[in-house]
Every structure is written in structure tokens, then in C-alpha cells.
Amino acid sequence: MFYVYVLKNPQSAELYYGFSSDLKQRFQQHQKMRKHAEWELVYYEAYLNEQDARDRERMLKQYGAARGHLKQRIARSTGLESAG
């Protein structure tokens, strides 16, 4: 499996979008990094095909509309329901 995931900074509305073939291990790596140490995993998508997952990550990182649609879908999970 291949994963596209979203981390949220608990002190702000900042989100991080990433890709991994081992979500648990990658999240643990983030927790060891000073910049993302306290960030929370708020969402992930699982793909059977690696290129599908990479394409989705690229869309989220490069296209504001893709990020906006996802933010609306997961607003309650991120605590951003009132932030447009």
C-alpha cells in the first residue's frame, strides 16, 4: 500500500501533505523531527498503486483547489470548520 497523509500543527491551522509506503514509520519519523514533533495525523488515503498516490500528493501540494476541497471534506477532523 501507498499513502497520502495530512498532518496538522496543533498550535495553528497549518497542514502538511506527504506520501509514504509505510505510514506508521513515516509518522514516527515526523515525530522525531523538531519541526513536526507535536503534529497530529488527521487524515490519510491508501492506494494500491504508487503512481496514483504520488499523483495525488502532487495535486495536493501544487493545486490550491485540491487542497481546498480536501480541507472542506476533513474540516471537523482538523478543527478548521470555521476557517474557510
- List the pLDDT tens digit at each of the 84 positions of the chain: 999 999 999 888 889 999 999 999 999 999 888 887 889 999 999 999 999 999 999 999 999 899 999 999 999 988 876 544
Residue 57: per-residue pLDDT: 97
Residue 82: per-residue pLDDT: 59
| 3-state SS track over the chain | CEEEEEEECCCCCCEEEEEECCHHHHHHHHHHCCCCCCCEEEEEEEECCHHHHHHHHHHHHHCHHHHHHHHHHCHHHHCCCCCC
